[in-house]
Chain A
């Protein structure tokens, strides 16, 4: 999102938010892209690879910018917004992942 400050006109928030959200994702990812670069972060690569260990340890959940559908069938898109992925997904994933070892 830091690459697209204008996105907040569609999903809400401020241009600073757009940058802050992306910066936060570096805390829970394992790498930075070498081709997908973000001008506003001085051409830092986009965060790549969410690590479920880091998500659980730091309690930092991936953010999602997304469209919003009406809850009833047949109506369609009613908006867009930003939210966090549910914590339980990452807790369940971590416990399941641990059974590999």
Chain B
């Protein structure tokens, strides 16, 4: 008791953990206090804590950490190169006239949000599959039209991510892993299909992109022999872009790289002028190229999941054997993993 009194009467320096308000009230009373920001793991959610605990088993942790390192290396070492610009139907695997690709996971028409519905309706009119909005809505809800996530087709798209068969796409090859990814061309800001707009000006722009812009870019890109998107991105980061919502520098670098090739083709002056004006007039021109490059850079890591699945099933098999053996009969398979470290 004396000791406690002694302690409380002495000048204290307090360490406070967790709730900052305790530290603040002591501070307001002139007590020297050091606050330590601390919160229970997973916000205290017991189910998540126990899942994390399972994954923290040394055998499993080592597998995951190694896979993570491999995944990071694949992403970092990727070399995304713009090699071509083609119509979706020509290059996207399993693309067809009545298939509409969209952003996000699988979703049927009834559950699509407004902007995705708008983009789908616009795409159906653009493709000539519907005459007007009413008809577009009707056939979108019927079995005539199929939907599938872009990600099932080596493809990405910004926002609604709607891709239909006539749209042109950037073809970006990851030279490190030899895989390819696709992304549509950027339309600009405001009233645009990717944000769910489907008015006449939106559809007219898409048609112009299909008839004029994309074929011109295709000639330029083919003449260039490939444009390294990683280089452009790295340089744009030095110039104040993040290459998602700010692409001013990257778009400029892309144009600077492309123009000599556009001029070297048989394109007429008017087409070159319109093409360069369109790209320059839209700071987001580079965005879709950036997305295709990211997709091409990250897709190879999907293969690592298969490795983990194999290792995982091997672990499960072994732990099951331990489970049925008399010495560990009380343990569940999940709790026996520490015992299989040497069996990997």
Contact = CB atoms under 8 A, between A and B. Distances in A.
A56 B242 contact: no
Contacts of A46: 237
A98 B45 CA distance: 16
B234 A65 contact: no
A39 to B, nearest CB: 6
Contact of A98 (B43, B55, B72, B233): B55
A24 to B, nearest CB: 13
A73 B72 contact: no
A75 B197 contact: yes
A94 to B, nearest CB: 6
B51 A94 contact: yes
Interface in B231-257: 233-234, 237-238, 240-242, 244-246
Contacts of A30: 68-69, 71-72
B259 interface: no
Contacts of B113: 71
B315 interface: yes
Contacts of A1: 242
B244 to A, nearest CB: 7
A7 B246 contact: yes
Give chain A's interface residue range (CB within 8 Å of chain B): 35 or more
A36 B245 contact: no
A5 B240 CA distance: 7
B118 interface: yes
Nearest to B56: A53
Interface string B307-341: 01100100110000000000000000000010000
Given A53-B64, A70-B114, A94 B238 contact: no
Contacts of A48: 72, 75-76
B54 A36 contact: no
A12 to B, nearest CB: 11
B135 to A, nearest CB: 15
B190 interface: yes
Given A73-B196, A74-B199, A100-B312, A56 B118 contact: no
B192 interface: yes
A11 B245 CA distance: 8
A67 B52 CA distance: 34
Interface string A86-101: 0000010011011011
A70 B52 contact: no
Nearest to B118: A73
A75 B244 contact: no
Contacts of A51: 68
B125 to A, nearest CB: 12
A3 B64 contact: no
B48 interface: yes
Contacts of A49: 68, 71-72, 75
Interface of A: 1, 3-7, 10-11, 30-31, 33-39, 46, 48-49, 51, 53, 56-59, 65-67, 69-77, 80, 91, 94-95, 97-98, 100-101
Given A69-B115, A71-B113, 19 more contacts: A7-B242, A11-B245, A36-B234, A37-B234, A48-B76, A49-B71, A51-B68, A67-B245, A69-B160, A69-B196, A72-B196, A73-B118, A73-B119, A74-B199, A76-B190, A94-B51, A95-B51, A101-B60, A101-B315
6 contacts: A30-B68, A48-B75, A59-B39, A72-B196, A73-B119, A76-B191
